[in-house]
A and B are shown apart, each in its own frame.
Chain A
Amino acid sequence: MSNDNSAKKTGPSASPKNRSGLDVPTVAKASDVNPENIGAPGEYPFTRGIFPDGYRGRLWTIRQYSGFGTAEESNERYKFLLEKGQTGISVALDLPTQIGLDPTHSMARPEIGKVGVSLSNLSEAEILFDGIDLSKISTSFTINGTAAIIYAMYLAVADKQNVPREKLTGTIQNDILKEYVARGTWIFPVRPSMRLISDSILFSNGVSPRFNPISIAGAHVRDAGSTAAEEMAYTLANGLAYVDELCARGGDVEKFAKRLSFFFYVHMDFFEEIAKFRAGRRLWARFMKERYGVQDPKAQQFRFGVVCGGSSLVAQQPYNNVIRVAVETMAAAFGGAQSIFTCALDEAFQLPTDFSAELALRTQQVIAHESGIARSVDPLGGSYLLEQQTDLMEQKIVEIMEEVDSYGGVIKAIEEGWMQARLAQSALQRKLDTDSGETVIVGHNYFKKENEDMKAGDVFTLDPTVAKRATEKFETLLDTRNQVEVDKTLAKLAKAAADDSENVMPYLIDCCHAYVSVGEMVACLKKEWGEFQEPINL
């Protein structure tokens, strides 16, 4: 494309509506603000944040997502990031691990170590966390279909390191509902999956009370193409479905609700994003109090992590992505996020290099420590525009949640593919608006220049021997482990899975200790529970 005049943007640069469909006023006025909705930081309904002292008391956790290849390579990367001042680690897992296929499975081979680390059994986890003290750092795992198994494996590694389970901190994503809609790593049908998740949450509350056993995520639905309002609405609806399931399985909402956490994307519309977080936090508190009668403020609080970047980043003029991530990080901070992950400038199209990963980390550190944003709680609270937009966003979210309810609730909406089809329509709309230039993306559809794409040579290349090494290590494990223990623990797992009144977690931990593989545990559970049948309706 040439750098001609048609590529330049003139005239009003913003539509009077944002993508969530909220009207944005030219001038917001004092009369637009309802003071009763605002309240004080640390107080119900927590519009201004869950802590009375905001980031002055405790800065958000700076957490970068990484993991690739084999456990050895990821272990090295984690140590590198911890030395650079990162305060938690975030583990990306490869697709075979996420779907529960061992490295030797025919469909696994092309994917081993590609989008994360291959973690097929406890011996790999021992390598992954070698030299990293699990009582001192918090670990976050992006894992869903096999989350209960990976959590069991983490507990088993802690046992091996002699770290008491109650000292463990971190998060497993463990949110299967959005996998059916956007990310696709489902394994079992919806209902047994809900049981598995409930088992892991209730078990975790008991043995590792500082660990977050679920991170209910809107991020993937958003990055796939939903609006900000849809992202929050579907996530809150999914969250309430988990609360219902946990209550049905005998959980005490006053207790388990304290350990529910959330996870979102931040894209570029600054006030839309901040309003989304503030409205979501207020709504969750209201649901907890009004629908479930929750009294303890800690169990009403909406705690969330965010990712800045994702599909808001483009390959053209990629250095602009650093600026995008900086704007998004500020929106996350004004929204009161508990942890922030910043995408690297090249993340939209490849695994980040050491250079780009460090720059992403520095972007957060500059905002956290130089900008002064962290000094005062909810610094934009009381802004006419932001408060008005927060109220409108809350109404919009409720409207979308009511649509899901009137369809018959999230489980039905997912089983029948309704939510998936809705998302596809929103995603198509976003693409059409970008193609037409109605949504401006600098360097992509306006202000273009030739030869400004990311150059080859800055591409991170994965060691091509990864799949071979992972497979060989796995075959060695099969030859050396105690097969009697493997068979015994798997038989007990099958029995527990068949009995709805059992909690499967202790059996999964026993399997891990016996070096049963993720694929073997999943195959065992599939026999009892079946597999999800994907509804295909476009």
Chain B
Amino acid sequence: MTTLQPSRKLEHKRILVGKPGLDGHDIGAKIVALTLRNAGAEVIYTGLRRTPEQIAQVAVDEGVDMVGLSILSGSHNELVAAVIDALRECDAADIKVFVGGTIPSDDQQHLLNLGVSAVFTSDMSLDAVVDTLAEKLT
């Protein structure tokens, strides 16, 4: 059994992990939330079925540095764009967004063009997720 090695790579960072839309597959979101917390971040998890507006509001209220969106239903293009718009509406365009889920490669580029900082799929290692976020947040 491989054990999770605690680190301080994300110390003092606040990160919101959100599940926008109707997709109920939350294990990826929870694994990432547990991993980020283990890397020193303060992690807030929204639970299922949040609207983009709700997620943006929580992000602002909690003063997070970054929002992670987990989507496995194929609705990522619409939902991610809506969250970015909602953040902008709240004057919180400085909050960075990352996305995880079943995201085809063409769509990954599309999301990056929308302003997403990073896109993760299930075949990436958890170490790579932490390192990428640490880099994006410096």
Residues of A at the B interface (CB closer than 8 Å) are 95-96, 98-99, 101, 106-111, 114-115, 179, 182-186, 224-225, 311, 314-316, 349-350, 423-424, 427-429, 431-433, 435-436, 438, 444, 453, 456, 459, 462, 534, 536, 538
Contact = CB atoms under 8 A, between A and B. Distances in A.
A250 B43 CA distance: 46
B127 to A, nearest CB: 7
Nearest to A439: B2
Contact of B30 (A108, A186, A427, A438): A427
Nearest to A180: B24
B32 to A, nearest CB: 10
B112 interface: no
13 contacts: A99-B22, A110-B78, A110-B79, A179-B24, A182-B27, A315-B123, A424-B30, A435-B2, A438-B1, A438-B2, A453-B105, A456-B105, A462-B74
A327 B1 CA distance: 25
A378 B122 CA distance: 36
Contact of A424 (B23, B34, B46): B34
Interface of B: 1-4, 21-27, 30-31, 33-35, 37, 43, 45-49, 51, 73-75, 78-79, 102, 104-106, 121-123, 125-127
* 4 residue pairs, one from A and one from B, having the closest CB atoms: A184-B24, A95-B22, A436-B2, A110-B78
Contacts of B27: 182, 224-225, 423-424, 427
Nearest to A537: B45
Contacts, number: 106
Contact of A184 (B26, B104, B121, B122): B26
A432 B2 contact: yes
B91 to A, nearest CB: 23
Contacts of A436: 2
Given A115-B74, A428-B4, A435 B127 contact: yes
Contacts of B73: 95, 111, 114-115
A224 B47 contact: no
A536 B121 CA distance: 23
Nearest to A462: B74
Contacts of A98: 22
B21 A538 contact: no
Given A114-B74, A115-B73, 17 more contacts: A95-B73, A99-B22, A107-B51, A111-B23, A114-B73, A184-B26, A185-B24, A315-B121, A315-B123, A427-B31, A428-B4, A432-B3, A433-B2, A435-B125, A438-B2, A444-B123, A453-B105
Nearest to B46: A536
B126 A432 contact: yes
B34 A184 contact: no
A107 B82 CA distance: 12
B50 to A, nearest CB: 10
Contacts of A106: 51
A184 B50 CA distance: 13
B35 to A, nearest CB: 7
B82 to A, nearest CB: 8
